[in-house]
Amino acid sequence: MTRHSVDPVSPDEPYLAFWRERHLCTLTTLRPDGSPHVVPVGVTYDAEVRLARVITSGTSAKAGHVRAAGSEGARVAVCQVDGRRWATLEGRARVRTEPERVAEAVRRYAERYERTPRPNPARVVIEIEVERALGHG
């Protein structure tokens, strides 16, 4: 992972390994006025289907920003940093409420972060269809 632009169809192993390590990430969404809303989150990345997942409460601001974009999805970015290494995934996000999708996101979160998230009956998953991958490390 030494270049800035990464092929999102076929990312290299160091890039994928970085996304498997336990790191706090940020999610950037846009508020209705166009200003960025950046919050810390846990992110999982399934490179085989180019899908990043963020679990959250359905009442959160980030979920609201994504929903406000409508069926086209919201343009978002997730990023993680570890010293000089960094990785960003950009794409279209949609809020999913289907129990099987939420359960899969929780399972992946528990695997990456080595802990099961607290129960949350309002939990949803923000699924990001990755269109661009960037990184350096």
Q: pLDDT tens-digit profile of 73-132? A: 999 999 999 999 999 999 999 999 999 999 999 999 999 999 999 999 999 999 999 999
Dihedral sign, Cα of residue 68, residue 62, residue 137, residue 13: negative
Domains and CATH numbers, the chain: 5-136 (2.30.110.10)
d(CA 101, CA 53): 10
Using alpha carbons, list the distances in angstroms from residue 65 to 34, 45, 77, 96: 10, 21, 13, 13
**For residue range 23-57, what is the model confidence (pLDDT) as tens digits?**
999 999 999 999 999 999 999 999 999 999 999 99
Instruction: Count Cα neighbours of 57 within 13 Å in the Cβ-side half-sphere.
Output: 7
Tokens 């960094």 found at: 86
Per-residue confidence (pLDDT) for residue 3, from 0 to 100: 53
Q: What is the C-alpha separation between 130 and 133, in angstroms, rounded?
A: 7
